[in-house]
């Protein structure tokens, strides 16, 4: 099993540019979570999907952030326009249906907005 | 709002020492508590605890949950430099089926 796959691993961009982060779930998992991690705020949940449907997006900072899950195995997180304060590591995690906890994390996408 | 607080924020020990990491929580309809280890990349799963007073053990690591006092501890005995990492505690409540993470404890083990 390949695990959760995220891309890109690193992105450096300029303020105002659009950023798209991608995530491929583990086959058979039906819940997907996007987290953001910074030194100041730790791991923060941005949004999560269950069976491709967004369940809770209350953690999405503002309208500049959007997430989609066009099919059962793939999701994108888009930031448009990006700002320096968006610099963080963005993790995607998935979870099998029916389990009560364990998340499987991707390697993360480190975003730097200049 | 669910809340998870970990202490200490950071810890520096020498190889061979024993450490205890703390996690306290407030969560609606508690279901489980999880410990993760994060080195340079993604958090990796260590333990999931659902029942009070039952110790989970894996090698030199062990963890126990106290649902009455709303906390958990993670013990590492005979620490090694490879134990250096951020240890994250997370709780799962019924509300929203989401994991809420604490801020982590950064452990550094010196040779």
pLDDT tens digits, chain A, 114 residues: what are they? 579 999 999 999 999 999 999 999 998 888 999 999 998 888 999 999 988 899 888 889 889 999 999 998 999 999 999 999 999 999 999 988 765 678 999 999 999 999
Beta strands B61-66; B71-76: pairing state: antiparallel
- pLDDT of amino acid A1: 59
For an interface test with A, which of B1, B9, B10, B98 has the most A Cβ atoms less than 10 Å from its Cβ? B98
What are A22-25's contacts with CB under 8 Å, separation 24+?
Answer: A22/A74, A22/A75, A22/A76, A23/A74, A23/A75, A23/A76, A23/A77, A23/A92, A23/A106, A24/A73, A24/A74, A25/A72, A25/A73, A25/A74, A25/A75, A25/A92, A25/A94
Chain B: residue whose CA lies nearest to A4: B42
Binning pLDDT at 50, 70 and 90, where does residue B95 land?
low
d(CA A56, CA A50): 10
- pLDDT of amino acid A56: 85
Which is higher by pLDDT, B50 or B81?
B81
| Mean pLDDT for chain B overall | 92
- pLDDT of amino acid B31: 86
Quick check: B17 and B79 in contact, CB under 8 A? yes
Q: Is the pLDDT of residue B82 over 90?
A: yes
Q: Is the pLDDT of residue B54 over 90?
A: no
Q: Is the pLDDT of residue B52 over 60?
A: yes
Q: What is the mean pLDDT of residues B63-78?
A: 95
Asked if B31 lies within 8 A of A106 by C-beta distance, the reply is no
B109 in helix, strand or coil? strand
Of B32, B42, B104, Cβ closest to residue A106: B42
Quick check: B107 and B46 in contact, CB under 8 A? no
Q: What is the mean pLDDT of residues B48-58?
A: 88
Chain A residues near residue B98 by CB distance under 8 angstroms: 33, 45, 48, 56
């Amino acid at each position: 099993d390949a695990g959760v796959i995220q891309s890109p691993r690193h992105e450096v961009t300029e303020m105002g540019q659009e950023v798209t982060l991608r995530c491929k779930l583990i086959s058979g998992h039906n819940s997907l979570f996007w987290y953001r991690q910074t030194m100041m705020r730790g791991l923060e949940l941005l949004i999560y999907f269950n069976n491709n449907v967004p369940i809770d997006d209350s953690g999405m900072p503002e309208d500049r952030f959007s997430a989609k899950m066009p099919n059962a195995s793939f999701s994108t997180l888009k930031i448009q326009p990006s700002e320096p304060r968006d610099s963080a590591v963005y993790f995607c995690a998935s979870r099998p249906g029916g389990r009560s906890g364990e998340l499987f994390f991707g390697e993360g996408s480190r975003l730097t907005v200049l | 709002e669910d809340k998870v607080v970990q202490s200490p924020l950071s810890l520096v020990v020498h190889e061979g020492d024993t450490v205890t990491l703390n996690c306290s929580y407030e969560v609606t309809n508690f279901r489980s508590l999880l410990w993760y280890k994060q080195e340079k990349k993604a958090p990796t799963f260590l333990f999931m605890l659902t029942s009070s007073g039952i110790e989970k053990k894996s090698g030199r690591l062990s963890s126990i949950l106290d649902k009455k006092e709303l906390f958990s501890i993670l013990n590492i005995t005979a620490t090694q430099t490879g134990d250096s990492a951020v240890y994250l505690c997370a709780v799962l409540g019924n509300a929203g089926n989401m994991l809420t993470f604490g801020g982590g404890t950064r452990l550094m083990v010196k040779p």
